[in-house]
Amino acid sequence: MTRISIPATDGSGSFDALVVMPKATPAGAVVMIQEIFGVNAAMRALSAWVADMGFIAVAPDLFWRQEPGVDLDPDAGQAQWDKAFALFNGFDQDKGLADLTATIAAARKLEGCNGKVGTMGFCLGGRMAWKTAVGSDADCNVSYYGVGIEGMLDGAAKMRGPLLMHIAEKDKFVPAEAQAAILAGVKGNAKVAAHVYPGVDHAFARMGGHAWDARAATIANGRTAEFLVEHLG
């Protein structure tokens, strides 16, 4: 694992991104979009998994404008959650999208990249993956249990890149009525594939976490792998 520095497009500074290379190149790249806990152990493990699949993983630090290098553990007590939600509430999502767009551009230029770049986000990152599908030139986008998407469904008709959505049926942050609105909002949209995983909670694909579900995660991750291969080579 290495780190690169990416200049912000608004001239306000630069931010770090973790890079994990696959064994063989050229390869497509995947911008890994963090949960509210920063680029932590879970994101590093997920980045390594993506690299093991044969893609370049690039995980930018989205909270850098508030506090660079956030690395929180969701299983280490309420204080970690309190800080995570404070960072989330202070996060400027428009600037975050601009930072992700800059990361996508930087990833395309990385040595070993074949020029194709997708995004993959979790929780907050799942929400931002919707935003990159609508507002960036990413070649594909994957959203795991994205939050608040029911409030952004006007973007469905403006979708630029294909989007794969993984939705947890028992997600405490995305209740049943929100899920119903999302599914109705993307129904018939050729650029969106949405899957609901029965009986699982938010963060079901975070290996080792309190909500980890091996069956649902394996099915979701298999769909993700096929999707990335299709769009990134």
**All domains of the chain in start order, with CATH:** 2-232 (3.40.50.1820)
- pLDDT per position as a tens digit, 178-218: 999 999 999 999 999 999 999 999 999 998 888 999 999 99
Strand, coil or helix: what is 142?
A: strand
Burial 47-67 (b: 16+ CB within 10 A, else e): bebbbebbbbbbbbbbbbbee
> What is the DSSP code string of 20-41?
E--SSSSEEEEEEEP-TTBS-H
Q: Is 202 in the active site? A: yes
Report pLDDT for 208: 84
State the average pLDDT over residues 131-142.
98
Report pLDDT for 88: 95
Return the closest-CA partner of residue 230 out of 53, 61, 2, 76.
53
pTM (2 d.p.): 0.96
- For residue 14, list its beta bridge partners: 7
Rounded distance between C-alpha atoms, residue 143 and residue 163, angstroms: 7
Q: Is 94 in the active site? A: no
73-77, 149-153, 199-203, 226-230: which has the minimum mean pLDDT?
73-77
The answer to whether the beta carbons of residues 209 and 216 sit under 8 Å apart is no
**Catalytic residue (one of 171, 201, 213, 231):** 171
Torsion angle of the four alpha carbons 198, 200, 203, 206, in this order, in degrees rounded to the nearest 10: -100
Burial 168-201 (b: 16+ CB within 10 A, else e): beebeebeeebbeebeebbeeeebbebeebeebb
Rounded distance between C-alpha atoms, residue 44 and residue 137, angstroms: 25
Report pLDDT for 116: 98
Return the closest-CA partner of residue 101 out of 71, 154, 58.
58
The angle subtended at Cα 143 by Cα 142 and Cα 146, nearest 5°, is 170
State the average pLDDT over residues 145-168.
96
- pLDDT per position as a tens digit, 101-130: 999 999 999 999 999 999 999 999 999 999
The answer to whether the beta carbons of residues 128 and 109 sit under 8 Å apart is no
- pLDDT per position as a tens digit, 27-79: 999 999 999 999 999 999 999 999 999 999 999 999 999 999 999 999 889 99
